[in-house]
Structure formats: C-alpha cells, structure tokens
Amino acid sequence: MVVVTQNLNVHCINNANGQPRWSPVKPCSYNYISGTNEALWGWPVIAEQHGLVLVKYRISWDEVLGRAPFPDNNAAIRSRITSTPSEQCLFAVSLDNGTIPYVCNVGHGGWGDGGYMPMGPMPVVKNFANGDEIAYVIMRGSPCLQDPCDARWDSRFGEMLLDNTTVSGYTGGDVRWMTNTFFPTDEQAFLTMAGDDMLGAHWCFGLAHRISDRSASRGTGTNPITMTNLPHIMESQRPNQGCTQDNVRHYCSNGLVNCCSDWRATPAGFWIYWNIDAVYDRYWNDYAAWVVSDGLVLYRSNTGAVVALENGNPLAMNDSPWECETQFALYDPDGSDAPAPSARTPRCDDGPAVISYAEAGRYDGLEKTVEGTLRYVFNNGKTVLLAFQEPHFGTFKVQIPKMSWRTFGETFGSEIGRNRETLYREGMTIRATGLIQFYQGDPVIYATSPSHIQVVRELVRLLPVERRDDAGFLDGLWRMLLVR
C-alpha cells in the first residue's frame, strides 16, 4: 500500500504485516504549504510492471502561469525542470526502495482561476498486449496549440515512457506529443482511458479520441502520435455550424460550438443543453468526469447532468424527445455580442435594498446592492477579481472584465500576476450593484462601470493613540481607526 501524507512524504507499507517497506521519502524539493504545495485531492498511481508509483503534487499558480511555455523536446524540458525544481509536479518512486529513478518531463496545470491553481489531472497507466506499460498524462510542450504562445497554450495529451527500452530513442520520464482537441494549461482536462480510447473531462465539454498511430517514428511536436475523433460532448450548444435543435438525438455531425460567445469548438458529438448561456456557471459542480463500465460510456457534466452512451448510430435514434430546458439570458463578460443583463423571475421576494456579500447567493437573478469588506484583489489578465474572503472560492465576488477596464480610468492596473489594483484595495468596504448570477458555482456581479461600485469606507488602518488614563488606555496600546 502506498500513502502520501500531508507533509508530502511518500510511505510504502507491507500489506502482510503493516510494516514500512522503506523509510518515508519526500521526492519534491518544496515543503507543504496549505492551498499551494500539497498532495490533497491527488492519489498514488501504480505502474506495477515497472515497480513504480507515480506521485503528483499541486504547486502554486505563480509556478505555472506567467512563465515561458514548455520547450519542444525532452532534453530541454528535463533541463528546465531540473534547474527549476519548484516547477516539477510529477515524480516516479521505486516501490522496492523509495529511490527516484528519473525526472518525469510533465509540467503542472489544472482548472485554475483568479490566482488559484488546484491539483490537476492524475496520470493513467496502460498495459499493452505485448507486455509494454505506458503512462498517459496531460503534458506541456511546444509548439503551442494557440497564438500567441505562452504558458496557457502548451498543454495536450501525452505519453510518458517508464523505461529506456519501450520506444527506441526515449528514456524513462520522456514524453511523446499527441494530437487532441485543445484545452488551456489553466483548464487542463481530467484523463480517463478505455482500451485505445482517451477521454478528457473539461469544465464545459468532454473530449474523446482514439489512438490511431503511435509508431516509434512519432511522438515529437512536429510529428505527434495521431488520434481519431470520437463523439465529444458539449455542455450547451449554440444554433450554428449547420446544427439545429434536435431534442431526440442531441447530436451535431458538423461539430459543436460552446453557446456563450466562447471561442472554443469541438468535433462532432452530443450536446446536453440547447442555447443556454453560461449554464455551467449557474450550476457549477467542479469538473466533468468520464466513466466506462460494461459497454456503457458515462459522462457527468460540470452541471451534474449524467449522459449514458452506448454503441450505435446517433442519427438513427427514435426515442421520445427530452424535455426542453428553460432559457436564461445572462451577461457574458467575454462575449462582444452577449445579451444585456436580464433578471429572470425571482424565486423569492426582493428582500432588503442592500444585502451582505454572505447572502448574495439567495438573490440569484435579481438586481441587488451587495456590501462587504474586500479581503482579496487579483488581476489575472482577463478580469479583476474583488473578493470578500480569502480563499475566495465558494463565496460572492465582483468581477470587472478586461473590456471594461478603460471606463475605470488610468489608475486601473493591467499587469498579470499578484499585483494589487490601485483603485480597489484590500481593507476597503464597497457596495456593488448589479445582476447577481453565477460563475463557477459562486454568486457574482459583473461590474462594467465605476458607477456599479461605491466605496463606502476606505482602508482600515491601525494608528497609535496617546495614553489616556481616564479611558483606561495603556502605554503601547493601539486602536483601530477608519480612515475615510
């Protein structure tokens, strides 16, 4: 049995007697930091034929984004990881003695946002009929799949070698490039395999491919392992590309396009909802997942919908139609042709005129004024995030999309990273007015104008006070003053 503990140590325990097989090993150079460097939400993956356990750690957002994309060859990738060990996330550990046989050329990523980078996908070990054993991973490496090329655009499916003999010219820890539907580094898809089929679970779509040619001559960035497309699944489909609403088949043979004015598209496949903007934000349920069981392919979407697929012709279905879904018109901060915010029929009364940020989720779909003291301000290059708790996940926040930054004036920052904005800072108490909707499961107001945000109180500062015996103050005492 293999266990990874909170302090990042790897333990190997003899099942027969419960005794350690070897002393605990910490393969990484960094130490445990809650919410940044940790093993939580990961699990050891065993490559039994090679006597290895693959252990992945979560590392910080700053070690992933804002850096150069990963190189285009294994030697350069290994050199980068070796020289910057804080970037190494995946480790191979010997089950016999706890040693580290080689460096795994796998860069970190995950479904992060707003300065938050989670664990990311685990590797999958596959055994071939000829006795080969390979690890399939989400890797990073150039050439980038989108322009301009930076750390967000270098992720893809990859094949990681576990020894020096399986594929000529490759050594243990080397990776081989593969072709697949694109996803960014901060939106890496979780990986599942069944036979030669590779299934990736993203927050808005499920991608599916079958390995078609993994011969030894392939595997470089310019000559990758090829895959054919299997039916993909899109959370919500826009009526375009020749795709029309078909509540019987839920299938588009001309490809799928995300419905909320988003750029991403996939090959032919199934859609769950028809033309519902940002349905995944309203019912955010973390990432999707694939499961293959007894002839069925099961897909749980980001919204919690479960789709069951079986072998057959999707255009020949004659079942009764699914019930049509209610359609909402919500604001999409990334779409130039997005509809104006429009509130839907409320499920409850309007409540007070000004509400606390902690109550915002109760007023979904209503125009409200929300008040709270800022605890976290972050600019990720796409949006400025104003949050009232740190960590901010699971709570109300205000987002100022990039397209609206100019309306806030020249003092508004635009640098990517953890630089705080000069206009709104931690410690300020603000009121945000707008339509309450949802982003990744959390209530949000999109502020597109300075009129949407009112500063109620400036920064809370600690100032010294003079000794006042009549008031019971002692020497050296400090009191909290509100500086307006």
| Residue at a domain's end among 174, 207, 230 | 230
Q: Quote the pLDDT of residue 462.
A: 41
Q: Is pLDDT at 150 greater than 50 in this prediction? A: yes
Where do we find the tokens 């980001």? 302
Answer yes or no: are the C-beta atoms of 130 and 178 closer than 8 Å: no
Q: Name residue 116's beta-bridge partners.
A: 113
- Confidence at 338, pLDDT banded by 50, 70, 90: very low
Query: What is the number of residues in the chain?
Result: 484
User: CB 457: neighbour CB atoms within 10 A?
Assistant: 13
Please name the amino acid found at residue 263.
Answer: W
Where do we find the tokens 């003899």? 14
Residue 311 within any structural domain of the chain: no
Q: Is pLDDT at 483 greater than 60 in this prediction? A: no
Average pLDDT over residues 14-39: 93
User: CB 23: neighbour CB atoms within 10 A?
Assistant: 10
Answer yes or no: are the C-beta atoms of 225 and 159 closer than 8 Å: yes
Average pLDDT over residues 186-215: 94
Domain tally, the chain: 2
Residue 285 within any structural domain of the chain: no
Residue 19 within any structural domain of the chain: yes
| Residue at a domain's end among 230, 260, 277 | 230
Q: Name residue 465's beta-bridge partners.
A: none
| Residue at a domain's end among 204, 230, 256 | 230
Q: Is pLDDT at 71 greater than 70 in this prediction? A: yes
Residue 330 within any structural domain of the chain: no
Q: Quote the pLDDT of residue 345.
A: 42
Residue 107 within any structural domain of the chain: yes
Residue 471 within any structural domain of the chain: no
The range of the structural domain enclosing residue 19 comes to 2-230
Strands 232-237 and 226-229: unpaired
Q: What is the pTM of this model?
A: 0.75
Read off the pLDDT of residues 93-136 as tens digits, 9 standing for 90 and up.
Answer: 999 999 999 999 999 998 877 788 888 899 999 999 999 999 99
E-strand spans in 57-132?
90-94, 124-127
Residue 426 within any structural domain of the chain: yes
Burial category of 383 from C-beta neighbours within 10 Å (exposed 0-12, middle 13-18, buried 19 and up): buried
Residue 378 within any structural domain of the chain: yes
Range from 235-244, 289-298, 415-424 that averages highest in pLDDT: 289-298
CATH number at residue 445: 2.40.50.140
- CB under 8 Å to 85, separation ≥6 — which residues? 28, 29, 30
Residues 361 and 225 in one domain: no
Nearest to 159 by CA among 116, 128, 203: 128
Token reading at 416: 């990517």
Q: Quote the pLDDT of residue 245.
A: 87
Answer yes or no: are the C-beta atoms of 392 and 477 closer than 8 Å: no
3-state SS string for 14-56: CCCCCCECCCCECCCCCCCECCCEECCCCCCEEEHHHCEEEEE
Residue 92, φ and ψ in degrees, nearest 5: -100, 125
